[in-house]
Every structure is written in structure tokens, then in C-alpha cells.
């Protein structure tokens, strides 16, 4: 049987002895480190650490105490989670359904340390499918006149379900700066190109037109600058002159599914730290 | 023992019966097709074919006759080559030497259907190494004042050696429109990013700064528009937050070597047709 | 709009003029070749061709006439299909469901030139899921005492649905020689290793124990010799010392899904020819 | 400017507090950890760590003191190295030269934290090339009658040059148990298949005959059991039915070069620990 562990993600100004102070704190409580990984950006002078340990005593007390220790004594930004946590996720979809099905099936297969709380869409196309999976489906149509109202509604839904993550499964709407700021939650988007190549719309058409020999997919945190957010994961596949745009779309679906899933998994496993519009991924 | 074959590369407006007419011409002479591959761009209505056959009679006569047939009767653009041809190549280098060594060693290992005729450089760094390989080394320094003269000289050297291909093995100078136009030979360049991402200078720095999770290399035909020419071959490799720019440079070297070599091989094997700034690669 | 095409797969003893005779036959009827690919095994002296063309007249008449021509005049084995054909497939499953879901979703997304006619299983686990997809589910338990009877029943079901292909989506039973012989249909299996490494049971445990740095998946045609049939497609993914057997199982699922799907697609697109326990794949 | 660091590789029975004790020891001396990575095999109850730090005082004294601390106080097996160490390597070759050239060029390019001390061969083919690189070349012919004597001689040469690593760059002789035992140095071999598939001789012929769709290369530590040693690194590349055995050999060369180089680099960077015929690779 697997024991519940505490996972801490730390970042902050580098200083001598951080690894020692963190590990000694854990050891001094009789607890046992299972994994620890750290990174320094020597130019930016920032220290990053992911440490996972099995607590000796009360897990809630120990995780709270660690949080205090890391933030107050070490001056680090810190996030603490338990390996048994199952944070709630809002899935944003439009009509395209491959990432929708793939993501939900992975959660149902137990691959993901979280739970899909609701599906939000600007179309009704996937309502039946979502409900067949037993998931609440919230239809929030968006057009140029109601964008602000619709986002207001989205915000309420996401908050009412207690979501801690938003995942855009090929959601075909841009999230406004205001929405992202007020949401104040991580949002993972999947873009169907190897960014920064072919940002913007119709990347498979762009790729076909440019005659590249590889197509890609990029999962990134959504920011106010479209397709400019911190990249979490990328992958590519080979194409050739025989492939039409439709072939690229089909081949790309497999990339999008696996890259999106991998990014969500890494996030839920508390393996990602963001700084300077980049990610540290402790995989 | 391998028999000498004729290889024809055809392209032109599509019309019914092209495959039949080409293969019947060959069959009617008692010759035998070894490989044939074709492609249609249905939007552009262009037909492409690579056909390789063992001639029954005199190889020179048959290849000349085919050329006439394909251009005059079929109205196609056609290039005809023999499998025993060893076209001459001019290698352009600066100081960076990994593509230089790798390319020369591949030719010496018999991997390539061609011969390096000369090494041209704007630095003396690789003179000894080139001469140790038994290759003529031509030093042609370039600065802002002598660019036109230097290119004039390059042109003469390339022509005097009878080169049919120019390969830029991390040559750190831009070729002028005028030079390319007067050269009138294919020029293969290796760019150290997965184009169109990170065109221009210092692509590894750009990649590091953007925080991508893959770096790449792209071999393309050089055109007047820098880094915008038809892409021949691309590949990528995975990187992570631990990798410094120096790591990217090191990892990238392996990509550059293999992508550059693969592009040269495909070209020398007469497998590439160019149209609309794209390539058809019959591999 | 896409026009219906005829696709022919030919194989037989090589002889001069085959490409010419096939293309001339098509041209002489005023029909137009869209794609043609051929291969020679020069050692075995066998010629293989896949040719796809748009017929000028009645498609049924032309495909029948071609079949006669190719078999009687050219002495080739020939399979002729239409691009609009949607052959029926029997999906064999046990309890493991990732290939089951993935395959069905790909057919529903229109990725595959065929239709799933029925799901056959030796367990009831996936009954509800199959029926939710609107697919007939046939429960045929198998144990050591009833194997022959159960296979007899399987055979009847597969035939009653008019299936032309059987796809084993992680079906955990071995098909007997007798069953395969009487079935006389292609059977595609997905094995969770890069065969021939780790044939037999528990390949992820074998891989973990041997300490390999890559795991793979292999789709092959099932034969009487378990895991020894002609390989259609393979892929691998990278693992490291941190990965437990459970991690390999999870990572492997993605490989199994995509490799299995690709093999089914290639088969349904009539791109595979089998000889000498190997495949020619015209992709 | 890069500072010299101490690198320690530790392994031994797991016990609580190891991470803390190691990092505290380093911190208590005023030294600063740059990288630290650890792994536990929970089944085997073994702890592995690679830790790299910048010492505060005398580097020799500190590395010796750490070695004592780790072995005596923590009961771990420990290897300590400096980032400036350049261990000597003996390169074993026969006639095949691609790994020979590639490896030497990588050392000359400064990619590797070591130095090639000598080239030993059972053929004279590469003598001139080795000497052109400025490397001592030792010709030690081997046949069935003189194997023991020849290995005796090899041993002397390797020891006389003070080598700490032996790298078999497609050396076509098997090393005897006795030789390996007396040598008592790590030996890295490159095998031209994705082991455990196609162990033994002529793996490309085996791969061609079996009809696999991927070929691979495997770098491993040589042991008395041929092709059964702990795997360090593997990679694969895609092939198809068009590829002859000669094509596999050519494509495989690129794999062999990069996989072999990567294994040597990981070893020289002190990133590999061996146990239970497997490797932990801290990359």
C-alpha cells in the first residue's frame, strides 16, 4: 500500500544551505524524504525545489508547519499538497472532441491525480457526451455582444465548483486579460503547433503552406498574450509532401491529446514551477 | 554487383496517362523499372515523378533519348542522372567544424553519391584539417568592404572546380541575391532551429529564452530570403530546464550533423523536387 | 468533393514491364492514376504494387475487369477495393479498455475507412461501455474446458456480422491455429513491447527487470506462433530508472493506442502486403 | 568563469535522513550544493545519490573528508570526483571506423570530460588515422591461438596509460571473463540493436529478416555475459520495407555514434550508478 506523502514546491532567491535546511527540517521530525529535485537558475539567482516526503506525525499539521517554515524562515514561495489530493478541474471545450474524450478517459482510468468537476462549452455539441460520462455540462454561448457577461458566468461556474485548474481542451475562444486576472487560477491550453512557430489561427494550414517536415503541439499556461505563455510540454511528428492539411489535422490530434494530457498530469503531480515566462518541470 | 541505373526527376502540369507514358517508353526499349514514385499536387495541378530504371542498351543514348521524350513529348521539366554519377560539391565553412568533419567523413565512408571538390572559407581555422583530408582549401576573407569581390572570387572557384552543388556547413555569411542568381546552382544550408521558429541569428539563445522543450535543426535550399528557402529535412531533440545555452549548442550539433547530411544525401540521390517554396522528397 | 477511387494491391513474380502494363491498362480506359507505389524484393524476386485511380466508367465493372486482367494476364495475386468501402471489423477485448475506447472513438471521428460491427469479449466488464457506443456486445467466456466451443461461437459471430477484419484490442486470449485457419481473415494484434524483445507475457515487467531505456509497442498480424506474426507498425518511448512497472504500463498505453490505430488504418486503407512473414507498407 | 566542483556518487542501504545528513555536511563546511539528485529503489531498499557542490576550502581536503564521511559515517559506497578531472580512456577498435572518428572528434571538440590516452586495435586499418589525430596506436592482433597473450598485452597497455575507462568503438572481439575481472575498470560497449532484441552477431541482418519497423543501438557496460550487461543508453530509428541490410547499416551508424557518445559522456560526468545489472542515470 502506498503511504500518503507531502509534496512541496519551493522557489525563491538562492542562498547557501537551502537543500540542507529543508531536508534537515524534514529529518528532524522523523519524516522520510521519498524524492527531492532542485534547480538553480544561476543567472536569475533563483532556487527551485520539489520535495516529497512521508510525514511521521499528523499530515495536516506537518504540511502546515512546513509551509510556515519555508515561507517565514527560508523566505521562499511555497505550495504544499498531499499525494492524495484530487483537485477539481474545469474542462473548457467547443465542438472539437478528441482532447475532450481523451482527457476524460484518462481521469476515469485513474491516470490523473485530480477530478473533472464540470465541462463548460460555448456550444451544445458535447452536452450529451459529457452527461454520458456523468459530468455536469454548462452551456455558455459567447458572441461579440455578450463576451463580458459570458466570462462573468464562466467565472461563477468555475468558482462554484471549487476548481483549482482550468484546462482548455481545444476551446476555440480567447480568454480576456480581465477574466484571467480575476480567475487567478492556472489555465492550461493546448496549441496545435510547435510554438513559437505558427502561433495564431489555423496552424496546420500555416505548416502545410510553409512546407515543414514536422508538425507539433504545445501545452502552455494561458496568459493575456495569446500563445505566448510559459511552455509546459511539446512534441512533434513527421509529415511529408503527400500529407494534405486534413492529414496534418488527423496526425496532429494524436499529438494534441498526448501533449495536453502530459501537461495536465505534470501540473496535478505538482511538478511545475513558473518564472520569467518559462517552466521548471521536475519530471 | 549493382547495375548502373538511370534516374529521372520529372515535374510539370498534370495530365492523364503520364505514369503510363513514362513507364511504357521505358518498357518499349526493353528496359526495366527498379523504383518509381510519383506525387500530384491536386490544388496546383502539378505532377512529380522520380523513376529509376536499368537501361537495356547504351546508357548515355537512353538517358538523352528519355530527356528529349519527357521534355518534348510530355512537356515536363526533367533532370536525368546516372546512379554512378559523382557530382562535385563545394563545402562552405567558417570556424565551426562539426558539420565540416561529419560531412567529409560521410563522403569518405562512401555514404554519399558525390565528391567534395573543395573547401571554401572566410577563415583559416580549418585549413590544416581540410588539407589533412586531402581537400583543396580556398581562403576568401569577407568583410563589409570586399563582399562583392569576395563573392566574385567564390563564384570563380566554384565554377573552376565544376561544382554542381554548394553545401553551407555552418557557413556564417549570408549569400547575396546577386551571387545566388549568378551561381545558378542548388545551395543547401543548415539552420540551427526548427524553422520557421527562431529564424535569424542566435537561435539557441532564442530557444533558451523562450523556454521551448524541443530544439531542432532545418536543412533548406538557400534563397535570397534568409532562412525562408524550401525546407528539405528537419529534426528535433528534447531539452529541459537544466540545459544551458551551451547544452543546447552541444545537443544541437548532433541534430545539425545528421539533418545536414540527410539533406545532402537526398539531393545527391536525386530525390528532391522544388516548387512553390516547398519540396517533394521521394525518400 | 472527393471522387471514388479504385485501389488495387498486387503481388507476384517480378517480370519486366509490370508498371507499364498496369498503368497502360488504366490509361487505355481513360482512367486517371492518383497514386502508385511499387516495391521489388530483388532477392525473393517478388513485385508489389499499390495503385489507386479514378475510373472513367462504371466503377464496379472497371474494378472487376482490372482484377481479371491482373490475375489472368499478369499472373499476380490481386485485391481490389473501392475508396468508399467500409469493411466490418470485429473488436476482441477482455477487461483492459484503453485500446477499446481509443479505437471506437477513432472510428466515430471518421478517421478509419471501416466500421466496427461488434465487440466480442471473454468478460462482461466492457458490456455497458460498448452498448453506450451503440455497438453489439457478445459475451463469450473462455476457460480451459470450453475453449473449442467458445472459439466455434466466436467464429459464428464474426461471420454472422460479415466481418472482414478482426482487431485484438488487448484481448488476453491466444487464438488457436485451428481458429485462425478456419477464420481465414486478417487478425491484427497489439503487443506491448518492441518485438522481438519481450515476447510472451508481462512484457513491462520484463522490460523493467532488464533495465531497458525504451519501451515499445508492436502491431502485427496474428499467426499460430504467438508474437511471431508479420510486424505492421512499431513505436517506442523513453523511460528511466525512476519509472516503476506501473509507470511503464501507463506510458505504454499511449504507445499501444497509437500503434494499434495506425496498423488498423493502414490495413483499412489497403496499404499492407504480407510475404515471408514480413510486411510491405505503402504509406 | 566556472568554478571547480566536487561530484559524489553514493549508493547503499536506504535509511532515514540520508539527504539531510549529506547536505548538512556540505553546508556545515560553508560549501554550496549546485545540483543534487537522488533515487530510491524501494523494493531493493537501496538509496542512490549524485551531489555536486562548490567547496569552500581546499578541494582535495574536502573531497577526501567527504569520502570518509560517506563511507564511514553513512556506510555508503562512494565515488568522489572533481569537475576538472580528465580521466584517461582506452579506445578499442577493429576496422569499422565511424564510432572511432566520431568519438575522437567529440573529445577534440571539448564535449567530453576526459581524454583519449590510446587506441588499441586487432587490425592496422586505423593506425594512420589514429596517428593523424596524434594518438598512440597499439596493434595487438588476436587469433584463436594467442587470445590469452594478447589480452595480457592489452591489460598492460591499458594500465601503463593509466586508463580509468575502456570504450569499445565497434571492437569486434569478445573480452574474456578473466580479462574483465583482472582489468577491474568499467568497459562501455556499443551494440547495434535495441537489446535485448537481436543480441549476438549480425543484428542488422536479424532485424531485416524479422521485418521490424525500427532499428536501434544500445550502449552498455561489458560483462562476461555478452550483450547482457547493464544498459546505459538506447535509441532507435525508423526503417521500412525499402531498406536493404546496407541501408540499415548506414542508418544504424548514426545511432551507434550518438548512443555511444552519450553513454561515454554520462559516464565521464559521473552520472551512472550500477546495481542489479541495471543503471541509475542521473541526467
Q: What is the mean pLDDT of residues B108-127?
A: 97
User: In chain A, which among 204-233 make CB contacts under 8 A with chain D?
Assistant: none
* CA–CA gap between residue B77 and residue B70 (Å, rounded): 7
- Check C20 against B17: CB less than 8 A apart: no
**Which residues are A12's β-sheet partners?**
A47
**Do residues C63 and C167 share a domain?**
no
- Min Cα–Cα distance to chain B from C91, Å: 35
- Regions in chain A scoring below 50 on pLDDT: none
**Do residues B118 and B217 share a domain?**
yes
**Do residues B13 and B107 share a domain?**
no
**Do residues C25 and C134 share a domain?**
no
Strand C165-168 relative to strand C187-191, pairing:
parallel
Q: Is C250 on the interface with A (CB under 8 A)?
A: yes
- Check C194 against D214: CB less than 8 A apart: yes
Which residues in chain A touch residue D33, judged by CB atoms under 8 angstroms apart? 19-20, 38
Q: Is D68 on the interface with B (CB under 8 A)?
A: no
Residue C82's alpha-carbon distances to B30, B189, C25, C73, in angstroms, are 33, 44, 18, 22
Is B1's pLDDT higher than 60? Answer: no
Q: Residue D54: closest CA among chain A residues belongs to which residue? A: A16
Please give the interface size between C and D, counted as residue pairs whose CB atoms are below 8 Å apart. 77
Helix (H) or strand (E) holding B23: helix B18-28
The DSSP output letter for D176 is P
Of these residues, A97, A102, A227, A247, which one is catalytic?
A: A227
Residue A151: phi and psi, rounded to 5, are: -65, -40
Q: Cα A224 to the chain's mean position, in Å?
A: 16
> Grid coordinates representing D119?
587506441
Give Cβ neighbours of residue C185 (< 8 Å, ≥ 6 apart).
Answer: C158, C163, C164, C165, C166
**Do residues A175 and A251 share a domain?**
yes
- Check D211 against C279: CB less than 8 A apart: yes
Quick check: D222 and D229 in contact, CB under 8 A?
yes
**Do residues C147 and C65 share a domain?**
no
Quick check: C50 and C35 in contact, CB under 8 A?
yes
CB atoms closer than 10 angstroms to residue A173: 16
- Check A111 against C250: CB less than 8 A apart: yes
Give Cβ neighbours of residue C8 (< 8 Å, ≥ 6 apart).
Answer: C22, C49, C50, C51, C52, C63, C66, C67, C70, C78, C79, C80, C81
* CA–CA gap between residue C140 and residue C156 (Å, rounded): 12
* CA–CA gap between residue A230 and residue C270 (Å, rounded): 43
Tell me the per-residue pLDDT of B152-207, one tens digit each, with 9 for 90 and over.
999 999 999 999 999 999 998 989 999 999 999 999 999 999 999 999 999 999 99
> Three-state secondary structure along B40-64?
EECCCCEEEEEEEEECCCCHHHHHH
Residue A139 placed within a domain: yes
**Do residues B36 and B139 share a domain?**
no
Quick check: C65 and C24 in contact, CB under 8 A?
no
Q: Is D77 on the interface with B (CB under 8 A)?
A: no
What is the reported pLDDT for C1?
55
Helix (H) or strand (E) holding B219: strand B214-221
Quick check: A33 and D19 in contact, CB under 8 A?
yes
**Which residues are A168's β-sheet partners?**
A92, A189
pLDDT tens-digit profile, chain C (283 residues): 578 999 999 999 999 999 999 999 999 999 999 999 999 998 999 999 999 999 999 999 999 999 999 999 999 999 999 999 999 999 999 999 999 999 999 999 999 999 999 999 999 999 999 999 999 999 999 988 898 999 999 999 999 999 999 999 999 898 999 999 999 999 999 999 999 999 999 999 999 999 999 999 999 999 988 899 999 999 999 999 999 999 999 999 999 999 999 999 999 999 999 999 999 999 8
Of these residues, B14, B97, B177, B227, which one is catalytic?
A: B227
Q: What is the mean pLDDT of residues D66-70?
A: 98
Residue D76 placed within a domain: yes
| pTM of the predicted model as reported, rounded to 2 decimal places | 0.96
- Check C19 against B23: CB less than 8 A apart: yes
- Burial of D148 from C-beta contacts in 10 A (0-12 / 13-18 / 19+): exposed
Q: Is B86 on the interface with D (CB under 8 A)?
A: no
Tell me the per-residue pLDDT of D103-155, one tens digit each, with 9 for 90 and over.
999 999 999 999 999 999 999 999 999 999 999 999 999 988 898 999 999 99
DSSP codes, chain C: -PPP-EEEEEEEE--TTHHHHHHHHHHHTT-EEEEEEEEEETTTTEEEEEEEEE-SS-HHHHHHHHHHIIIIIS--EEEEEETT---EEEEEE-S--HHHHHHHHHHHTT-SSSEEEEEEESSSTTHHHHHHTT--EEE----TTTHHHHHHHHHHHHHHTT-SEEEESS--SPPPHHHHHHH-S-EEEEESSSTTTT-SS-HHHHHHHHT-SEEEEEEEE--SSTT-SPEEEEEEEE--TT--HHHHHHHHHHHHHHHHHHHHHHHHTT-EEEETTEEEE--
- Check C16 against B30: CB less than 8 A apart: yes
Task: Tell me what ipTM this predicted complex has.
Answer: 0.95
* Biggest distance spanned by C-alpha atoms of chain A: 63
The domain in which residue B126 lies consists of 88-281
**Do residues A71 and A96 share a domain?**
no
Quick check: B26 and B33 in contact, CB under 8 A?
yes
**Which residues are D235's β-sheet partners?**
D217
**Do residues D175 and D246 share a domain?**
yes
- Min Cα–Cα distance to chain C from D259, Å: 12
Q: Is B46 on the interface with C (CB under 8 A)?
A: no
Give Cβ neighbours of residue B200 (< 8 Å, ≥ 6 apart).
Answer: B206, B226, B227
- Is B227 annotated as catalytic? yes
**Which residues are C97's β-sheet partners?**
none
Chains linked to B by 3 or more Cβ pairs within 8 Å: A, C, D
Residue B266 pLDDT grade (very low, low, confident, very high; cuts 50, 70, 90): very high
Is B252's pLDDT higher than 60? Answer: yes
* CA–CA gap between residue B59 and residue B31 (Å, rounded): 10
Please give the interface size between B and C, counted as residue pairs whose CB atoms are below 8 Å apart. 52
DSSP codes, D66-133: HHHIIIIIS--EEEEEETT---EEEEEE-S--HHHHHHHHHHHTT-SSSEEEEEEESSSTTHHHHHHT
State the CATH number of the domain containing residue A13. 3.30.70.260
Residue B56 pLDDT grade (very low, low, confident, very high; cuts 50, 70, 90): very high
Quick check: D12 and D70 in contact, CB under 8 A?
no
Q: Is D63 on the interface with B (CB under 8 A)?
A: no
Show which of C30, C50, C82 is a domain's final residue: C82
What is the reported pLDDT for A1?
54
**Do residues B123 and B190 share a domain?**
yes
State the CATH number of the domain containing residue B143. 3.40.50.170
CB atoms closer than 10 angstroms to residue D237: 14
**CA angle D73–D11–D199, rounded 5-degree value:** 160
Quick check: C77 and C71 in contact, CB under 8 A?
yes
> Grid coordinates representing C212?
531497458
Quick check: D79 and D272 in contact, CB under 8 A?
no
**Which residues are D89's β-sheet partners?**
D116, D165
Show which of C49, C82, C115 is a domain's final residue: C82
Residue C1 placed within a domain: no
**Do residues A116 and A251 share a domain?**
yes
**Do residues C255 and C171 share a domain?**
yes
Q: Where are the alpha helices (DSSP H) in chain A?
A: 18-28, 59-68, 98-108, 127-132, 147-160, 177-183, 203-210, 245-268
* CA–CA gap between residue D79 and residue D63 (Å, rounded): 10
Mean pLDDT of chain B: 96
Active site residues of C: 227
Please name the member of A101, A111, A250 whose beta carbon is closest to the beta carbon of C105. Answer: A101
* CA–CA gap between residue D195 and residue C109 (Å, rounded): 38
What is the reported pLDDT for A226?
85
Residue D1 pLDDT grade (very low, low, confident, very high; cuts 50, 70, 90): low
Residue D1 placed within a domain: no
Residue B1 placed within a domain: no
Grid cell 589533412 is found at: B132
Residue B117 placed within a domain: yes
Q: Residue B106: closest CA among chain D residues belongs to which residue? A: D98
Which residues in chain C touch residue B21, judged by CB atoms under 8 angstroms apart? 27
Q: Residue A210: closest CA among chain B residues belongs to which residue? A: B278
Helix (H, G, I), strand (E, B) or coil at A172: coil
How far apart, in Å, do the first and last CA atoms of chain C sit? Answer: 23
Show which of C82, C109, C134 is a domain's final residue: C82
Number of domains in chain A: 2
Amino acid at each position: 500500500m502506498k503511504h500518503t506523502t507531502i509534496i512541496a514546491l519551493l522557489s525563491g532567491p538562492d542562498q547557501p544551505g537551502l537543500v540542507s535546511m529543508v531536508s534537515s527540517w524534514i529529518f528532524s521530525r522523523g519524516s522520510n524524504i521519498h524524492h527531492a529535485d532542485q534547480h538553480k537558475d544561476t543567472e536569475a539567482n533563483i532556487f527551485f525545489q520539489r520535495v516529497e516526503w512521508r510525514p511521521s506525525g499528523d499530515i495536516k499539521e506537518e504540511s502546515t508547519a512546513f509551509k510556515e517554515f519555508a515561507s517565514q524562515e527560508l523566505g521562499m514561495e511555497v505550495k504544499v499538497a498531499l499525494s492524495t489530493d484530487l483537485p477539481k478541474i474545469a474542462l473548457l471545450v467547443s465542438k472539437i472532441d478528441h482532447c475532450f474524450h481523451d482527457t476524460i478517459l484518462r481521469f476515469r482510468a485513474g491516470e490523473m491525480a485530480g477530478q473533472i468537476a464540470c465541462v463548460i462549452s460555448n456550444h451544445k455539441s458535447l452536452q450529451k457526451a459529457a452527461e454520458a460520462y456523468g459530468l455536469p455540462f454548462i452551456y455558455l454561448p459567447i458572441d461579440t455582444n455578450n463576451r463580458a457577461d459570458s466570462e462573468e458566468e464562466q467565472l461563477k461556474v468555475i468558482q462554484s465548483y471549487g476548481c483549482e485548474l482550468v484546462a482548455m481542451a481545444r476551446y476555440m475562444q480567447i480568454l480576456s486579460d480581465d477574466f484571467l486576472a480575476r480567475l487567478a487560477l492556472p489555465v492550461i491550453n493546448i496549441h496545435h503547433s510547435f510554438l513559437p512557430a505558427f502561433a495564431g489561427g489555423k496552424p496546420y494550414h500555416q505548416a502545410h503552406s510553409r512546407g515543414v517536415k514536422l508538425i507539433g503541439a504545445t501545452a502552455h499556461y494561458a496568459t493575456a498574450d495569446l500563445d505566448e505563455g510559459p511552455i509546459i510540454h511539446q512534441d512533434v511528428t513527421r509529415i511529408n509532401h503527400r500529407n494534405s492539411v486534413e492529414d496534418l489535422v488527423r496526425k496532429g490530434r494524436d499529438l494534441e491529446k498526448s501533449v495536453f494530457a502530459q501537461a495536465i498530469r505534470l501540473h496535478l503531480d505538482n511538478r511545475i514551477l513558473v518564472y520569467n515566462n518559462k517552466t521548471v518541470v521536475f519530471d
